[in-house]
Chains A and B, each alone.
Chain A
């Protein structure tokens, strides 16, 4: 049996088939997507798209010319329902089957659902796909009072977009600070001040108890005895879950995600997995990690594609993420969790700074606000396991390239 079948046509799946083809893989390739859209850019859904600055067509990432140029069959609007490993075939929602020599699972993640009473009322929304975003965009137009549940990336970006649209926005977060799992308290503080300055009513340490409705529609969010917040739209952003059910059912090794090695191979050597749906042993995190970022999906997809083409090149990229809120860009490189010292470059007051985090004397991560030059340097430092001293970080005239042996490179600037 031959040929490659890919489940999921987003960043990981598409990068994998592109890398496989460009590395010389010449067997048939079929990519299945349960969405009806051509592959599209997901990050703008919570930003430019909600603001009405980019429409559906502008988000297209790959068009039919792309699929023709790489001889790839794209099947839209079809769901893979089961993987039959013994027969090496995938069962599809239209009752057809596809046999495979190799299989890639790139099914991404889905929004964690709220379980509180009232969670199924009309006006409780999630944001993950283009269809979700289209619905949210139209509901936002009508809504006056919006409550956002969760102070993670999606919650904060939707809060920024909704408040820029002139809406009254309240954000409730059960933890003591914003973006708790991703950034340090200093960055959390900065973001909190930024959102409050833009009029978002951010309430930390607030637990949602129930959502109240009238005639089936949301009217308020109840946070226990302390408060009830009026709402005609509730947007829930309380994290994502790996779409790994199809892999679990096929008895592939899974643990909050499909377990893969550094070449994106699962516990079955004919089956690969990449992107949001996987969990891998990450050198920078010094442990198992499930990442949700475009960089990870693309780089792990690339590792899968190369391995499928017989040109294995392990995935060892520095984890990266970005988030746009209002006019500010937050960029993250590395994993700062557990840091024991830090140094600042730039000015926190002016909103243009980078924080360099150290653990046991070694640089482990850098968060930047509107300092993309620092961020590019940081990725190279982290990839090369180079550690600038806190004094070098704080010295604006210090050029990190001197640590990388690149200082003499011709770079007209």
Chain B
């Protein structure tokens, strides 16, 4: 499967997601701007915030209580389709997941 990253200015890049890999690590590994992932995905930093394409939000596993707790602390604008991208992992029942990168991270 693939993940497509859309920057705030509309620029987009699609990358293959290896099985088991998260959206966050896929971005960090490949140098996608705007996703820091400082803690490596252990729910310690909230610097991997993204907005999942609204129509796809319901098609990926829902956030855990721990993720929701951390989402509640982000300083950037939180929306109903906000997720921490380190918690979204391949494989998903979607061919290409689309995520929008916020203006800034926590």
A62 with B31, Cβ < 8 A, contacts A43-B40, A294-B40, A376-B46 known:
yes
Instruction: Report whether B70 and A376 are in contact in the complex, using a CB–CB cutoff of 8 Å.
Output: yes
Which residues of B are found within 8 Å of A60, using beta-carbon distances? 29
Supply 18 further A-B pairs (C-beta < 8 A) apart from A373-B70, A406-B75.
A57-B18, A61-B28, A62-B28, A65-B29, A66-B31, A69-B30, A70-B31, A295-B38, A372-B44, A372-B66, A372-B69, A373-B72, A375-B44, A376-B70, A376-B73, A412-B78, A412-B80, A413-B71
Give complex CA distance A411, B71 in Å: 9
Tell me whether A322 is interfacial, beta carbon within 8 Å: yes
Which residues of A are found within 8 Å of B78, using beta-carbon distances? 410-413
Tell me whether A329 is interfacial, beta carbon within 8 Å: yes
B residues near A, CB below 8 A? 18, 20-21, 25, 28-31, 33, 38-40, 42-44, 46, 66, 68-75, 77-80, 106
In whole Å, how far is A139's beta carbon from the nearest beta carbon of chain B? 25
Instruction: Report whether B30 and A66 are in contact in the complex, using a CB–CB cutoff of 8 Å.
Output: yes
25 contacts between A and B (CB under 8 A): A18-B31, A57-B18, A58-B21, A60-B29, A61-B25, A61-B28, A62-B31, A63-B29, A66-B29, A69-B30, A69-B31, A294-B39, A294-B40, A322-B42, A329-B43, A372-B44, A372-B66, A372-B69, A372-B70, A373-B69, A373-B70, A373-B73, A411-B72, A412-B78, A412-B79
Give complex CA distance A294, B44 in Å: 11
In whole Å, how far is B69's beta carbon from the nearest beta carbon of chain A? 4
A60, A376, A406, A410: which has the most chain B beta carbons within 10 Å?
A: A376
Which residues of B are found within 8 Å of A322, using beta-carbon distances? 39, 42, 44
Which residues of A are found within 8 Å of B44, using beta-carbon distances? 320, 322, 329, 331, 372, 375
Closest to A371 in B: B69
Which residues of B are found within 8 Å of A41, using beta-carbon distances? 40
Instruction: Report whether B40 and A372 are in contact in the complex, using a CB–CB cutoff of 8 Å.
Output: no
Tell me whether A44 is interfacial, beta carbon within 8 Å: yes
Which residues of B are found within 8 Å of A22, using beta-carbon distances? 33
Tell me whether A243 is interfacial, beta carbon within 8 Å: no
Which residues of A are found within 8 Å of B77, using beta-carbon distances? 410
In whole Å, how far is B53's beta carbon from the nearest beta carbon of chain A? 18
Instruction: Report whether A377 and B40 are in contact in the complex, using a CB–CB cutoff of 8 Å.
Output: no
Instruction: Report whether A62 and B72 are in contact in the complex, using a CB–CB cutoff of 8 Å.
Output: no
B29 in complex: contacting residue of A62, A324, A329, A412, CB < 8 Å: A62
Which residues of A are found within 8 Å of B46, using beta-carbon distances? 376
Closest to A48 in B: B42
Which residues of B are found within 8 Å of A44, using beta-carbon distances? 40
Which residues of A are found within 8 Å of B42, using beta-carbon distances? 43, 322, 324, 329
Which residues of A are found within 8 Å of B68, using beta-carbon distances? 413
Tell me whether A298 is interfacial, beta carbon within 8 Å: yes
Instruction: Report whether B40 and A65 are in contact in the complex, using a CB–CB cutoff of 8 Å.
Output: no
Closest 9 CB pairs of A and B: A66-B31, A376-B73, A69-B31, A373-B69, A65-B30, A322-B44, A413-B72, A41-B40, A63-B29
Contact mask for chain A residues 382-413; partner B; CB cutoff 8 A; 1 contact, 0 none = 00000000000000000000000010001111
A377 with B38, Cβ < 8 A, contacts A60-B29, A62-B29, A372-B43 known:
no
